[in-house]
Structure 1
Amino acid sequence: MPKATETTLEIDLKALQNNFDELKSKLQPKTKFLAVVKAFSYGNDSVPIAQYLQKANADYFAVAYTNEGEELRNNDITKPILVLHPQKANLQTLLNRRLEPSIYSKKTLLEFISIAENSNQNAYPIHLKFNTGLNRLGFDKIDIDFIIETLAKTNAVKVVSCFSHLAASEDLSEQEFTKNQINLFKDITSTFITKLGYKPILHLCNTSGILNYPEAHFDMVRSGIGLYGFGNDVRYQPNFTPIATLKTVISQIHILQPGDSLGYNRGLITDKEIKTATLPIGHADGLTRIYGKGKGFVFVNGKKAPIVGNVCMDMVMVDVTHIDCNEGDEVIVFDREHTAENLAEAAGTISYELITDLSKRIKRVFLT
């Protein structure tokens, strides 16, 4: 891989393929695969990721909001796209771009049917989300009769899938809770299908659900974090490859004397002579202030360098007292060996937050 000359996120598409293949290997041949590419594909770049996965034969895509789906449509993504959290203001646009809404409440059902009817739609695909314990979005079982009665009054929409979301599939201490969710989903969908008169696609599992609950794969599974290289479990992590490497460079080196201060609000006051390196990455790039004052770290010439002082908007300073380095040397923020998960855990957060925080202003380079 080329040495960085600026802050760069390198994205390895071969690693993406490896992770896709690993997840697919856990499925029955007829089980569909939905690739979650919301939030800029978890900080990577949703357009190239979706284009690659479309060629790799992913069956479905999912985004959080309508504008994310629009961007994919504008860039030749033709596979079905599920919008997980559509808003009323965007429903007409969603319909115009042939995006498929998650319908999770009586209000969203009535609103979308109205728009679909006014646009003279016939059997427009919708996905019904049921709440089985996450208690975030979704219909409850008691809403089934309302849904059936409402659907019977229109030909404008057709239910193509029913789904729910596991709350703790990565936590094996919560197996009882997860199995209760699975059983509730089975109960809800059995009742719903009987009254509906046909069987939509059923899907429940996220990445950890795919790995830990094969009995709940149903007709389709959804994966986000697994595609990007995180198995959420030390047992599975060796089979996944983080696809992104975040690199930067040393802009300047300083020698601080005892009693000197460093950065905003004098975030560090030295008690001995130290050598620091200033890097062109900061909280505006997604390396937030939680990583300051020794919680976070980077790797300079293979050696760990703690972040010192407060993280600035566009810069961060690291302690390189013990490292032989020069201005212009490459710095690894995270890669396959020193993962985003390791860095996030050191600051008390999760890899999801770190990688989705990465700013679009960071240069992205795709490796094939």
Structure 2
Amino acid sequence: LGTDPATIADRMPLLRPVRTRLDVADGVNDCQMIHDTFSSGIASLSLSLDFMSRRVTPDHTLTVILGDIDTEGLPAADVYARAAAMLRLRHIDRIIGIGPEINSRSSSLPAGSVTYPSVEEFLGSVTPDDFRSELILIKGSQDEPLGNVARLLEKRRNGTVLEINLDAVVDNFNFFRSRVRPDTGMVCMIKASGYGAGSHELAKTLQSQGASYLAVAVHDEGVDLRQAGITMPIIVLNPAVDDLNAIFDSHLEPEIYSVDFLRSLIAEARRRGIKDYPVHIKIDSGMHRLGFRLDTLPEVIEVLSSQDYVVPSSIFSHLCAADDPSEDEYTLRQFDYFERCCVMLRSAFPGRRILSHILNSTGITRFPGQQRDMVRLGIGLYGIRTMHDGSQDELRPISSLSTSVISVKHWEAGTTIGYNRRGILSRDSVIATVPVGYADGINRHLGYGNASFCVRGVLCPTVGSICMDSCMIDVTGIPGVQPGDRVEIFGDSVPVEAIADTLGTIPYEVLTSISQRVKRVYYRE
């Protein structure tokens, strides 16, 4: 178009992303907030209300804060009448309209609705204390965003944000589902708070996608999901005798890895008068961590056969080296050993269907012939590849960690930066301070230039040590860096695998180390 390439190069870093997306975040006073800025059309409102309805819990009332609706050439009276009908159908408890058009049509909205002619008037009339234990949908457009309303109701935390792309979760789920038979169930692992991403939104997304089971590590995680409105079956992988009350009260399905635990579970089921409670029998086929061996399985069968309070719903095992082709012989022996255990257990209960599963994320792509009744989707669900042979290249990382610059200073060569004066500048430098540190999950070994974070598309090495709540990066040579600029810790420009490689660990550890004080924001593209 005749624009000088140098001018384009100067202007490109100034572009900012348009937030055409739907965000989910924690709000004030135990509120949950859904902020949708995609569009303000009637069809978009229907989709937003549908998304909201899948997140309803008994302990939260429903609130919709709605901006002016784009009539898209249709009669405005008809459009607002349709919107009112949608809101009634969804049983919205509280409706707030903001904008000159919706304010003038307040009589079209359901009874009890409150409207304001502008965002400014709304902000001057309410405070965060006016909202408590509500699921709030804030629905505006890019032309008239309700961003200030969202900021009023957003729970205050530090500026570091872990963003989780729910569309990427769906894509990864479907990637693996396309590689198994239509009748093969998908067990989704969301232990450790969804590998650090937060379990509630992931569980709601997976429940709506048709996953067969969720699996958590401890009963507290399962109880949490039940309180968040998750109704699908949940397996607890590391249950304990002390957890039995919570397991039964929340209808969680425990893994059985010892006869003693099985007997305790049966005793509690008998005391409660419960029959046919589902349990999952763990087989140690080679991991040598938890589970029954072939020679101990007869005792399990004997105990199960002697009562009808608990029943085996599935038998499963865990591959320990599926991602290492040099250990394939050992993996094949695990498959063979597990099959013998399956035959033994199933033959003892000929009238009962007992599911079996052994494949993890890697196993789904490498050993499709062993998919059996179900497969377990773990790190692959989060977009982390375990194989680099092209078989998992379609996976999309779901998480990105970012913060923002809070200070920019110019220092002469020889200046020391940070604790113990260990960051020594070898040149005149521009150093930015960012509010993220080891209390947020940034390992101290990433300091001293061992890692680089991305600012305006440029990788900027760390300088000096990682502090508890902040760290410093070298932004020398990047024009115009200023407070407020986004800093990517990991994401599209800095793969989490690169951080893991620097630390000599695996992506699992990096993801699960992100502190709970870091705000989680979930979004749909």
Fold match by TM threshold 0.5: yes
Q: Deviations over 1:81-113 (max 9, x none)?
A: 000111221122111110000011122212212
Q: Using the alignment, how far apart are the partners of 1:303 and 1:237 within structure 2?
A: 27
Q: Using the alignment, how far apart are the partners of 2:411 and 2:336 within structure 1?
A: 62
Cross-structure match for 2:378: 224
Q: Using the alignment, how far apart are the partners of 1:62 and 1:257 within structure 2?
A: 54
Amino acid at match of 1:355: L
Cross-structure match for 2:367: 213
Task: Report deviation, 1:337.
Answer: 4.1
Q: Using the alignment, how far apart are the partners of 2:333 and 2:417 within structure 1?
A: 53
Task: Report deviation, 1:188.
Answer: 1.4
Q: Using the alignment, how far apart are the partners of 2:360 and 2:181 within structure 1?
A: 16
Relative CO higher for 1 or 2, CA cutoff 8 Å, sep ≥ 6?
A: 1
- Mapping of 1:292-307 within 5 angstroms? 292-307=447-462
Amino acid at match of 2:504: G
1:109 correspondence with 2:262: yes
Aligned residues of 1:132 and 1:185 also touching (Cα < 8 A): yes
Q: Using the alignment, how far apart are the partners of 2:332 and 2:387 within structure 1?
A: 19
Aligned residues of 1:104 and 1:128 also touching (Cα < 8 A): yes
Choose 215-224 or 233-242, whichever is displaced more. 233-242
Task: Report deviation, 1:346.
Answer: 2.3
Q: Using the alignment, how far apart are the partners of 1:275 and 1:90 within structure 2?
A: 54
Q: Using the alignment, how far apart are the partners of 1:247 and 1:228 within structure 2?
A: 17
Q: Given the superposition, is the C-alpha separation of residues 115 and 265 from structure 1 closer, same or farther in structure 2, using an over 3 Å criterion?
A: farther
Amino acid at match of 1:163: F
Cross-structure match for 2:231: 78
Task: Report deviation, 1:259.
Answer: 3.6
Task: Report deviation, 1:2.
Answer: 5.7
What is the SS of the residue equivalent to 2:369?
helix
1:274 correspondence with 2:429: yes
Aligned residues of 1:6 and 1:249 also touching (Cα < 8 A): yes
- Mapping of 1:235-250 within 5 angstroms? 235-250=390-405
Q: Given the superposition, is the C-alpha separation of residues 109 and 302 from structure 1 closer, same or farther in structure 2, using an over 3 Å criterion?
A: same
Structure number with greater Rg is 2
What residue ranges of structure 1 are gaps of 5+ in the alignment? none
Task: Report deviation, 1:73.
Answer: 0.4
Q: Deviations over 1:243-291 (max 9, x none)?
A: 1121111111233334432222333233433322111111111112122
What TM-score does the superposition give when structure 2 sets the normalisation length? Answer: 0.68
Amino acid at match of 1:20: F
State the 4+ residue runs in structure 1 displaced beyond 6 angstroms.
none
Cross-structure match for 1:256: 411
1:47 correspondence with 2:207: no
Q: Deviations over 1:115-137 (max 9, x none)?
A: 22222110111001010111111
What RMSD in Å do the two structures reach over aligned CA positions? 1.6
Amino acid at match of 1:233: M
Aligned residues of 1:296 and 1:347 also touching (Cα < 8 A): no
Cross-structure match for 1:367: 523
Cross-structure match for 1:290: 445
Q: Using the alignment, how far apart are the partners of 2:431 and 2:391 within structure 1?
A: 37
Amino acid at match of 1:281: V
Cross-structure match for 1:12: 165
Residue among 280, 285, 289 paired with 1:136: 289
What TM-score does the superposition give when structure 1 sets the normalisation length? Answer: 0.95
Residue among 470, 473, 491 paired with 1:318: 473
